[in-house]
């Protein structure tokens, strides 16, 4: 009986993981269409020692589609120096650390 219950639990876990990964893949495809075309990779959070800066760069690495859909209000998009495409652009260099 215990073996049978263990197998059922394993099957449910496998189904749950399959559904979770399928949902994440579909969500990633939807989120990709929201991006404003920043394709550069964000900086490694471990380059920074300040906890708040490190945490913000980590978030940028985890959810780039969110930051890429947000306008940057520091006016770096309009700046002839930066020419950023979105808030995500601030995280591909050390601009967001300042």
Tens digit of each residue's pLDDT (9 = 90 or more) over 12-58: 666 666 776 666 655 555 555 555 678 889 999 999 999 999 999 99
Q: How many CA atoms lie less than 13 Å away from 86 in the CB half-sphere?
A: 17
Q: How many CB atoms sit inside 10 A of residue 56's CB? A: 18
The whole-number pLDDT of residue 79 equals 76
Q: How many domains does the chain have?
A: 1
* Token duo for residue 63: 């959810």
Q: What is the pTM of this model?
A: 0.60
* Token duo for residue 19: 């559904």
State the residue for tokens 């969110």: 66
Domain that holds residue 70: 2-97
Q: What is the pLDDT of residues 72-87, one digit of tens each?
A: 877 777 777 777 888 8
């Amino acid at each position: 009986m215990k073996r049978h219950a263990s197998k059922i639990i394993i099957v449910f876990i496998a189904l749950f993981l399959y559904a979770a990964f399928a949902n994440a893949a579909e969500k990633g495809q939807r989120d990709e269409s929201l991006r404003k075309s920043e394709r550069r990779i964000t900086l490694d959070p471990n380059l920074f020692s300040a906890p708040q800066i490190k945490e913000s760069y980590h978030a940028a690495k985890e959810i780039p589609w969110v930051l890429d859909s947000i306008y940057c209000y520091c006016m770096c998009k309009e700046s002839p120096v930066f020419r950023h495409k979105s808030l995500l652009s601030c995280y591909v260099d050390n601009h967001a650390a300042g």
